[in-house]
Structure formats: C-alpha cells, structure tokens
Amino acid sequence: MKIVALILARGGSKGIPYKNIVPINNKPLLAYTINASQKSMIQETWVSTDDLQIKLIAQQYNASVIDRPAALATDTAKSDASLVHFANHNNFNVLVFIQPTSPLLSYQDINRGIEIFINSKYDSVFSVYKEHWVPRWTISGTPDNWDINNRPMRQEVEEKFVENGAFYITSKKALLKSQLRYSGKIGMVEMPINRSFQIDTEDDLKLIKELI
C-alpha cells in the first residue's frame, strides 16, 4: 500500500500575501506541514503549486512538486479539483491531503488518521476537534439556533465535532470516483483544539507565532 501526501500551496492569497511561505520563527509556513508529513508513515510528500518561489522552497525541504495548472490556482478553484489532477498523474493507493495553514499539525495526528483509515476500513477520514456548546449569534444580531427565553445549559447540549481542515485521507479509487476529498464510509480523527488552529488572517498569524 503506497501512502502519499499532497499539500496545496498556490501563490495567490488575498488575506496574507504569499501566506503559504510567510516566515514563522525563521521557517516558511509550508515547511511545518512538510516536516510533519515526512516524520509520519507517509512514503512520499508532494506539494502542488503554480508558483516558482513556493516550488523552490518545497524542494528545499525535500518535498516533490507537481506543477498546478493556472486554472486550478484561482480564487474560485476548488481544492478537490487539484487533488484529482494529482491523482491522474501519480501512482498511489492512499492520499493524505494536508493543508499548509495548519502548522501545529503533528506527525502523530497524521499517523493516527492513517491507522483509523486502514483499521476501520473507511473510504475517507478527516481531522476534527470537539466543541462544547456556546451561544452563537448571527451577524444580524439574532440567536443562532437557540432561544433567549430558554437558554440551555452547556452540559444539556450534545457536543459536536468541528472540521479543523488540517488533513483529509482518502483512497485514490474513492477520490477519482467521487471527485471529492471525502466520500463513502467516512470516519473522523480527533485532534486537540490547541493543534487545530488555522492561519487565514493576520490575527491568526500573530496567534500562531505566539504558540510556536
């Protein structure tokens, strides 16, 4: 069974310019997930990018690179299409799709996901963290799915799992059939919330720099 990882890292980023290679403690953001992948039971670590600078940094950290077509690197292009593009050009059995915006991801998290995927015979697995109920409000200022006249106690509301976006695991067969990162019999691997942060904004970046 050949297990490979794919990290999608396009050059364009509106929120944080060149977000995927922004330096954190003198190391590019992309390097953190490359290193986590390389320490895990994954056999090959790939980066899909449309950008030469990102390509060179990926190679500097000993990742293989697949050139992503420009049409798959736009603001509106879906990540799943780039996964399918990779699958159509590479030989593997299991794909671990890792997002570079999750630098706190550890190789133990990845290994646990792979073990769950294999041992439980799932078609796909993705990472989550557990969330206790908190009162959420809509932008317009109304309660989001709860009643202010009957506010529940936290322990009365069922806990939920939240997709943290760190990684997704699926088989090549399932990916090519569904064209999606997860399909069929789907499982979850829980990560602690303190390793579930993603970098999407400048505030996220400041927080991560404090944590690493």
Longest dimension (CA), the chain: 58
Residue type, 8: L
Q: Is 151 a catalytic residue?
A: yes
Judged by DSSP in three states, 172 sits in helix
- Catalytic choice (68, 151, 154, 195): 151
What whole-number distance in Å separates Cα of residue 136 and Cα of residue 76?
A: 28
- At residue 157's C-alpha, the angle toward residues 155 and 160, to 5°, is 110
Of residues 117, 131, 130, 119, the one with CA closest to residue 168: 117
Query: Is there a contact between 102 and 164 (Cβ–Cβ < 8 Å)?
Result: yes
Q: Return the structure tokens found at 200.
A: 């999407």
**Tally of CB atoms within 10 A around 4:** 21
Among candidate residues 202, 56, 43, 188, the one with its CA nearest the CA of residue 127: 188
Q: Which helix (H) or strand (E) holds 177?
A: helix 172-178
The one-character DSSP state at 71 is G
**Residues tagged active-site:** 151
